[in-house]
Amino acid sequence: MTKEQALKRAAVAFALLGLGALAIVGRLVQLQVLQHDRWAALAKAAQEDVVEIPQRRGTIYDRSGLPLARDVPGYSIALDNYHMTKPELLVALLREELGLSPEEAAAKVYRESYFTWLARGVDKEVGDRLRDRARELGIRGLMFFDTWVRTYPQGRLAPEILGVVGVDGHGLEGLELAFDELLRGTPARYHLLRGRDGRVYDLWVEAPGHPGEDLTLTLDARFQRVCEEKVAWGVETFKAGRGFALVMDPRSGAVLALAQYPRYDPEDPELGLLHSWAVTDVFEPGSTFKALVGLAALDQGLITPDTLFNGDSPYIVDGVRIENAEGKSYGTITFRVAIVRSVNTVLVQVALRLGAERLYEYLVRMGFGRPTGIELPGEAAGILKPPEEWRDLDLAVASFGQGVAVTGIQLGAAFCALANGGTLLRPHILPGPPEPVSQVAGQEACRSMRDMMRSAVYSSVGTCRSIRLVSEAARGLEVAAKSGTGQKAIPEGGYSSEHVFGDVVAMFPWDSPRYVILVGYDDLPAKRWDPYKQQVTYVWGGSTAGPTVGHIIQALVEQGLLSPQVRESTELGRSG
């Protein structure tokens, strides 16, 4: 090789080396300068994990300060699968202590991961025992994070009101959902530092978080428990599909109890039961509506308790026969008697005197056709057609609570207005001053209607007489009440011949009510065998929801929550 050739080869080699060096430098510039943030983030992600642990959730109290839902210390437990030891023993341990199935425990233990959640919200006693047993067995790889566990000191009282909390510490239903941000606070953030082998070498708190705020309700746990027991009794006794019981203070609009049955059972969870259907579902209320239609007519001066009507059956409207219950005719009767005995044909005549425009205006003032604003999720607005869509027949059937759809909380709030002298208040489950919504009627009209409703309880022919018959306490409380039995609309159109809706609303003492109680049963069998009469009889709200109201009153008095004032009454409830 000549000297000249050697120099050329050397030049080529140096050129190639130079190009290679430039390529390396360029790549380094690209990685370390232009793409620095990207690769730094990837490196950090490979070495660090962030775990969020909920802080103590706010406690929910009843109106007397009794805790209904609160957090207690517990653990969230995870596993470093790559560095655990004795997996067979660990599978058995998880089955015994955490109640996992063999398949579930094995799937978690043999998962290929540096981090697997085993259980969250574990009771502290269970977690401590699991950790001690793991140490005794020489099992490594378990990680224990201090956290909080939601508990219910009064048992599962009012689950459809309180709701539930998920494993991530977020509310899923009820007040836990509606006030989730307030109750849950801010979670703590834990940093996990891993070595190149993936093992966790350090763990520290990046942000401590802060606990949630407490919530106090207007609910009274003692009232709630009584209502839950009695509505469960009623559903089972009268073979209803479901039932609810509502107790309100008509002077403030506060909800003292809101119970239902069937109830949510965490051991056999059915998510459909995790809402209060007295708030979220609508029904046609039946003859309880007669008291409200009558109130409107009294307020307008169209009738008095002594106004005479023809109470015969049927009454023809738009060519349609409207019957009284069981087709009974009553001849000429007063409006008072029509309320006491719940005479359909008389209330039809009253509604026709009012007219669609005026009745609609009163029903709107009473809060129907729109949500009440109670602090519970999923509230329904109900169904109230505008007056221009009403025919005389629509007006007629509305007089006894058909063709309109309401919620339990709407109906309760409307009767609170009747009870307090005519002011509709927003129903509420959080403490606060009364919030007037509208003026429904005058005080004299309200008092007059309450007096007639008292007659429905204390008359021997009143549709609500079962209240005093089952409750000795009710006889001295001067209860006023109205019963209803509504036909149930079916999806195909028309009404069911097999099931009805039954309800009773009561208030006491009648002249200045402090409590309003509403009980409603859905899917009651329309007929049942009466062992005393030895025949099939119709099922009514007064004979189902009525006794339930009586049993609620009796239990509240026996537990010292009410103090009856004994007053003498004569026929039709007039004071002697």
- The reply to whether 226 and 190 lie within a common domain is no
- Looking at per-residue confidence, does 204 or 214 come out higher? 214
The Cα-based distances of 452 to 18, 340, 463, 568 in angstroms read 107, 7, 12, 16
Q: In the predicted model, what is the mean pLDDT of the chain?
A: 88
Average pLDDT over residues 212-241: 97
Contacts of 558 (CB under 8 A, 6+ apart): 473
Confidence of residue 492 (pLDDT cuts 50, 70, 90): confident
Domain boundary among 177, 193, 216: 216
pLDDT of 260 > 60? The answer is yes
Q: Mind listing the pLDDT tens digit for each residue in 408-457? A: 999 999 999 999 999 999 999 999 999 999 999 999 999 999 999 999 99
> SS3 of 290, please?
helix
Look at residue 7 and tell me if it is in a domain: no
Q: Which of 527, 541, 518, 520 is nearest to 499 (CA)?
A: 527
| pLDDT, position 191 | 78
Residue 40 covered by a domain: no
**141-152 b/e (C-beta count within 10 Å ≥ 16 → b):** bbbebebbbbeb
Query: Do the domain assignments include residue 28?
Result: no
Determine the Cα–Cα distance for residues 518 and 161; give it in Å rounded to an integer.
17
Do 120 and 194 have their domain in common?
yes
pLDDT at 572: 32
| pLDDT at residue 31, as a whole number | 45
Kindly report, residue by residue over 300-335, the tens digit of the pLDDT. 999 999 999 999 999 999 999 999 999 999 999 999
SS3 assignment for 210-258? ECCCCEECCCCHHHHHHHHHHHHHHHHHHCCCEEEEEEEECCCCEEEEE
pLDDT at 138: 94
pLDDT at position 566, please? 41
Residue 284, C-beta contacts closer than 8 angstroms, at least 6 positions apart: 401, 402, 403, 404, 405, 406, 486, 487, 488, 489, 501
Instruction: Residue 479: name the closest of 506, 515, 503 by CA.
Output: 506
Q: Is the dihedral of CA 232, 236, 242, 246 positive or negative?
A: negative
Q: Specify whether 101 is located in the same domain as 244.
A: no
Q: Is 63 helix (H, G, I), strand (E, B) or coil?
A: coil
Average the pLDDT over 162-176 and give the result. Answer: 88
Q: Would you give the distance in Å from CA 507 to the centre of its chain?
A: 23
Q: What are the pLDDT digits (tens) for 340-375?
A: 999 999 999 999 999 999 999 999 999 999 999 999
Residues 101-121 as b or e (16 or more Cβ within 10 Å = b): eeeebbebbeeeebbbebbbb
Number of domains in the chain: 2
Name, in order, each residue with C-beta under 8 angstroms of 344's C-beta and a sequence gap of 6 or more. 287, 313, 315, 322, 323, 324, 325, 399, 400
Position 45 scores a pLDDT of 47
DSSP for residue 25: H
Instruction: Identify the CATH number of the domain in which residue 148 sits.
Output: 3.90.1310.10
Residues 310-334 as b/e (b if ≥16 CB within 10 A, e otherwise) read ebbbebebeeeebebbeeeebeebb
What domain range includes position 468?
221-267+276-573
339: in domain: yes
pLDDT in tens, 107-147: 999 998 878 999 988 999 999 999 999 999 999 999 998 88
